[in-house]
């Protein structure tokens, strides 16, 4: 069949049409708010970046943020947008003051796009600019101007106020998770000492910069006091802990570069080089960096990022014609860290012991690593434990935003998900039996235990999570006692050996319906007893009620509803206040009278709930 190709096939999209048609180009992905990199948080960040840039330039010390239901309001006390250019600033692409480096020398939002994306992707967008006793207000809906208020006198302080509501047509039934917003706003104050952010009644500020950031993200004290180094256009803080892996927080001009980039690569290299030279021994880089928790912030003129969402720095130089990022970071770390270690011999002693302990453990498992990797390769090929998706990966782009690995139990559940999944982006890993309880064990067990060795190989995290093959790791187990036990064993494994997967928001629990309620006209899937009761009430007398006891009982055709665009995922989150060791000891350690009492008491509560349900029905 021949398809016509004439002048009428050539279209020029308006700015708002293009943003709404290709939102991924501007905000990464959409999402419903369950993941911290979902688009609704990017919209908030784009507005916040403008307000923080004002503070960085010396204007406005406070920012007020309010989120009520789905409406977001951000009010800063900077200079305000020039009143005659408010319309252009929020509705004309490639328009903004940040092209003039004299005004915004080291800014994040250089492309003149961010707030336009917020406008186009919001069902309601209101901007008010207050400047020199006057206010200019505009209201939009999905990028279309619906109200243009004339200039009015005003006695409010100068600044800009943006109110927006992400469009449910694009983001679905979304919701903001306060914890994710808290983390974002706290990061702003850590990177801008003196800035105050007020969010829904909470007040955030920081005196110690990146030291406060590390302390707020550590469950226990480091092995030695945080090393804090500051210089022109660079700040570094780090210590070592007892956790596995490496944990980094990297920033450029206040932007959290979650995928690192040239500055983080230089820092990791500089740490190794400086430590080797200080101790005069050629230690393996993995032994030096194992268990490190670190933060680095740099300020660069006209930064170049590898995507519009600015998650990875691509700049080679600190400024046009200036030193390279690598040399700048290397020279700073070499001088200041070497000086610090000489002046703090006790810290140097503790660091050396940590490196030596890591070296011993690495050598202890080295003999079995090769055998374990070969076994993983053969089993994956012949037993098909991993049913991969078609998304192609490479070392330069390891985290595909939409890629998902479901970890399932048993052949029936694995079969249902495999038949129902989107083969382009969704993969399935099938467990055999219950995994090992890894609490209190060393990482050597990962290679000796076949299931965990294969899972680690499937995720490609043997050498850290930098090359993680799937952005979303979803534990998909039955909602019965055995399924809950397997879920807990998997959580123990990830918490014990790969906590950074959780901290970076990669781990989820799949929520599947407990009941199906239907009549001849409608079918409802219910995830709770309350939803079931409501469905029975809505569908009238005597509907058919099915209780799903396991994932394998749900047909592939039905399963497509639960792992498609409306998939319900519960993110696994860790906060500083979570006493992880106490939690694991209580639930996964040796049996204790306290745990037995807890089980008995909660069994009684469950029995009481069931009895009440029976009486009610």
Q: Which residue from 347, 374, 208 is spatially nearest to 278, judged by alpha carbons?
A: 347
| CA dist., res. 454 & res. 206, Å (int) | 43
**DSSP secondary structure letters along 526-566:** ESSHHHHHHHHHHH-SS-EEEE--SGGGS-HHHHHHHSSTT
> Do the Cβ atoms of 478 and 425 come closer than 8 Å?
no
Determine whether 284 is an active site residue: no
Q: How many CB atoms lie within 10 A of CB 11?
A: 6
Determine whether 480 is an active site residue: yes
Per annotation, catalytic residue among 49, 246, 409, 500: 409
| CA dist., res. 120 & res. 19, Å (int) | 7
Q: How many CB atoms lie within 10 A of CB 261?
A: 23
Phi, psi of 482 (to 5 degrees): -65, -40
| CA dist., res. 109 & res. 615, Å (int) | 60
Helices 481-497 and 580-588 sit at what angle, rounded to 10 degrees?
A: 140
Q: How many CB atoms lie within 10 A of CB 567?
A: 18
Task: Give the full edge-to-edge strand order of the sheet including 247-252.
Answer: 227-231, 234-240, 292-298, 247-252, 255-256
Per annotation, catalytic residue among 49, 246, 478, 500: 478
| CA dist., res. 444 & res. 305, Å (int) | 38
| CA dist., res. 122 & res. 401, Å (int) | 22
Q: How many CB atoms lie within 10 A of CB 211?
A: 19
Per annotation, catalytic residue among 480, 578, 608, 613: 480
| CA dist., res. 185 & res. 163, Å (int) | 17
| CA dist., res. 209 & res. 203, Å (int) | 16
> Do the Cβ atoms of 139 and 184 come closer than 8 Å?
no
Helices 325-343 and 262-279 sit at what angle, rounded to 10 degrees?
A: 40
Q: How many CB atoms lie within 10 A of CB 546?
A: 15
| SS3 state at 329 | helix
Phi, psi of 467 (to 5 degrees): -105, 30
Q: Which tokens is 541 given?
A: 């007398």
* CA distances (Å), origin 81, targets 54, 84, 96, 103, 137: 11, 8, 10, 13, 11
Determine whether 529 is an active site residue: no
Determine whether 388 is an active site residue: no
Q: Which tokens is 393 given?
A: 């990966």
Q: Which residue from 518, 319, 564, 308 is spatially nearest to 421, judged by alpha carbons?
A: 564
> Do the Cβ atoms of 125 and 118 come closer than 8 Å?
yes
Per annotation, catalytic residue among 149, 179, 411, 482: 482
Catalytic residues: 409, 478, 480, 482
């Amino acid at each position: 069949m021949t398809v016509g190709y004439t002048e009428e096939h050539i279209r020029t999209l308006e700015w708002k049409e293009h943003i709404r048609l290709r939102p991924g180009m501007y905000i990464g992905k959409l999402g419903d708010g369950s993941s911290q990199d979902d688009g609704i948080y990017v919209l908030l960040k784009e507005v916040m970046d403008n307000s923080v840039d004002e503070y960085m330039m010396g204007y406005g010390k406070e920012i007020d943020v309010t989120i009520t239901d789905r409406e977001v309001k951000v009010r800063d006390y900077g200079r305000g947008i020039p009143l005659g250019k408010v319309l252009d600033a929020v509705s004309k692409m490639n328009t903004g003051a940040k092209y003039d480096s004299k005004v915004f020398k080291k800014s994040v939002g250089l492309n003149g796009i961010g707030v336009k994306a917020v406008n186009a992707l919001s069902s309601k967008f209101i901007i008010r600019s207050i400047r020199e006793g006057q206010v200019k207000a505009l209201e939009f809906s999905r990028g279309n101007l619906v109200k243009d208020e004339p200039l009015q006198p005003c006695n409010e302080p100068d600044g800009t106020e943006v109110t927006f509501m992400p469009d449910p047509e694009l983001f679905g039934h979304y919701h903001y998770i306060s914890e994710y917003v808290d983390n974002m706003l706290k990061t702003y104050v850590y990177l801008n000492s003196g800035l105050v952010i007020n969010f829904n009644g909470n007040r955030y500020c920081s005196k110690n910069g990146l030291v406060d950031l590390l302390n707020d993200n550590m469950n226990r004290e480091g092995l030695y006091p945080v090393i804090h180094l500051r210089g022109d256009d660079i700040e570094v803080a780090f210590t070592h802990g007892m956790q596995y892996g490496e944990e980094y927080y990297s920033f450029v001009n206040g932007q959290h570069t979650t995928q690192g980039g040239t500055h983080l690569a230089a820092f990791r290299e500089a740490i190794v080089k400086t430590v080797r030279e200080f101790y005069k021994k050629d230690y393996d880089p993995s032994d030096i960096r194992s268990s490190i928790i670190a933060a680095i912030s740099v300020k660069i003129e006209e930064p170049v990022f590898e995507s519009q969402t600015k998650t990875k720095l691509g700049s080679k130089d600190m400024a046009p014609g200036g030193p390279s990022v690598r040399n700048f970071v290397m020279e700073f770390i070499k001088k200041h860290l070497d000086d610090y270690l000489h002046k703090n011999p006790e810290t140097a002693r503790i660091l050396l012991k940590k490196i030596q302990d890591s070296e011993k453990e690495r050598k202890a498992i080295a003999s079995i690593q090769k055998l374990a990797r070969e076994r993983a390769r053969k089993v994956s090929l012949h037993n098909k434990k991993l049913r991969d998706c078609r998304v192609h990966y490479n070392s330069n782009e390891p985290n595909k935003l939409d890629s998902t690995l479901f970890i399932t139990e048993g052949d029936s559940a694995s079969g249902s998900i495999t038949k129902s999944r989107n083969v382009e982006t969704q993969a399935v890993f099938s467990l055999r039996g219950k995994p090992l309880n890894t609490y209190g064990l060393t990482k050597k067990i990962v290679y000796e235990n076949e299931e965990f060795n294969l899972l680690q190989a499937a995720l490609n995290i043997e050498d850290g999570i930098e090359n993680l093959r799937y952005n979303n790791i979803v534990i998909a187990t039955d909602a019965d006692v055995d399924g809950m036990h397997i879920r807990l064993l998997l959580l123990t494994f990830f918490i014990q050996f790969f906590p950074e997967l959780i901290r970076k928001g990669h781990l989820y629990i799949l929520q599947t319906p407990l009941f199906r309620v239907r009549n001849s006209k409608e079918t409802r899937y219910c995830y709770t007893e309350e939803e079931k009761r409501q469905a029975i009430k809505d569908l009238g007398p005597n509907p058919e009620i099915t209780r799903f006891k396991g994932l394998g009982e749900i047909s592939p055709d039905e399963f497509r509803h639960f792992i498609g665009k409306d998939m319900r995922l519960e993110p696994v989150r860790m906060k500083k206040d979570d006493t992880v060791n106490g939690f694991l000891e209580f639930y996964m350690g040796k049996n204790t009278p306290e745990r037995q009492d807890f089980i008995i008491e909660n069994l009684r509560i469950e029995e009481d709930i069931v009895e009440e349900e029976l009486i009610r029905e």
